Structure 1
Amino acid sequence: MIASVAGTVTALGPLSTVVEVGGVGLLVQCTPATLAGLRVGEPARLATTLVVRETELTLYGFTDADARDVFESLQSAAGVGPKLAQAVLGVLEPDVVRRAVAEEDLAVLTRVPGIGRKGAQRIVLDLRDRLGPPRGGALPGPRPGEPAGA
């Protein structure tokens, strides 16, 4: 597995970048938010994961290890491959994904192109115990005087 790459950005595209590492240009698929932080000719460090398929090797890059970990967890849900997992992180921050799964908020998950209600339900069911709580803090409980299900 290639856990990270660090080098000079030599090219930027709408869905990918090329990072030159030790004289070798690595094509890395990234979300638009990750790409927005990169500049041609400047150094970059990306957390990465290598997805191996029968006919291709694809390197996916992220601004940090947390996003990479959520990407990898998303792929363990039924019907979610690397492209859909990347689309999720292109629309939602890792903590928003965790919160949506923990709160079973299907409306948030269905904002991602390619995820309908049934797909969101599968993601919640498959990942409920794998993603953990949002890193920004525990899920808020009910406000004082408010019933628990409101």
Structure 2
Amino acid sequence: MIASVRGTVTATGPDHAVVEVGGVGLAVYCAPGTLADLRVGQPARLATSLVVREDSLTLYGFADDDAKQLFELLQTASGVGPRLAQAVLAVHPPDAVRKAIANADTAALTRAAGVTGGAWPEQVRQALVGLGWTAGQADQAVAAVAETVDGPPPPVPVLLKQAIRLLGRTR
């Protein structure tokens, strides 16, 4: 595990910074607020979390250990991956996220980009493509199902069944 990095910022992008540590440039994915504090050519220290996937090793960076710990905790929830956890922290500071969770304030939590009660549109889309429909058909079905959702969305399996019913009518 790479718990933190300290070095010179050599580059920044819209969603990442490159921090040179011991002659090695590490790409560290950060929320916009963290990136705003980094300057090319200046030293930086980022708390980090290494996310290991079958096909990638991705390093996420945070201004402090508190944000890093909450990032890791958020990912223990079903359907929450690193991108979604980072999106939540991009919108709210750690204390606000904890308060929203403690008070079951789903409205506050769903203000983050990509958070729609559990990122169901992408889950349903991927399931439909996996079942053999084209990406275009899946997108149309997800859009149609989204129009029927009023308030908190039902569980993903229910939404998937609705999408399959819609697609079954078009075959």
Check whether TM > 0.5: yes
Q: 1:18 to 1:77 in 2, by over 3 A?
A: same
63-72 vs 102-111, which moves further: 102-111
Q: Displacement, 1:15?
A: 0.1
Matching residue of 2:71 = 71
Q: How many Å separate the matches in 2 of 1:22 and 1:59? A: 17
Return 5+ residue gaps in structure 2 as ranges.
120-151, 153-171
What SS is found at the alignment partner of 2:2? coil
**Structure 1 letter corresponding to 2:75:** Q
Aligned length: 120
Query: Which one has a larger percent helix, Structure 1 or Structure 2?
Result: 2
Q: 1:56 to 1:96 in 2, by over 3 A?
A: same
Q: Which runs of 4+ in 1 moved over 6 A?
A: none
> Percent of pairs identical after alignment?
66
Q: After superposition, where does 1:120-139 map in structure 2 within 5 Å? A: none
Q: Displacement, 1:114?
A: 1.9
Kindly indicate whether residue 95 of structure 2 is the aligned counterpart of residue 95 of structure 1: yes
Q: Deviations over 1:40-76 (max 9, x none)?
A: 0000000001000000000000000000000000000
Q: TM-score, normalised by structure 2?
A: 0.68
Q: 1:22 to 1:118 in 2, by over 3 A?
A: closer
Q: How many Å separate the matches in 2 of 1:117 and 1:82? A: 16
What SS is found at the alignment partner of 2:45? strand
Q: After superposition, where does 1:8-87 map in structure 2 within 5 Å? A: 8-87=8-87
RMSD: 1.2
Q: Displacement, 1:87?
A: 0.6
Q: How many Å separate the matches in 2 of 1:113 and 1:63? A: 20
What SS is found at the alignment partner of 1:111? coil
Q: Displacement, 1:95?
A: 0.5
Q: How many Å separate the matches in 1 of 2:47 and 2:81? A: 18
**Structure 1 letter corresponding to 2:9:** V
Q: TM-score, normalised by structure 1?
A: 0.77
Q: How many Å separate the matches in 1 of 2:89 and 2:67? A: 7
Q: Displacement, 1:112?
A: 1.1
Q: Displacement, 1:118?
A: 5.8
Q: Which has the higher contact order (CA 8 A, sep 6+)?
A: 1
Q: Deviations over 1:12-39 (max 9, x none)?
A: 0010000000000000000000000000
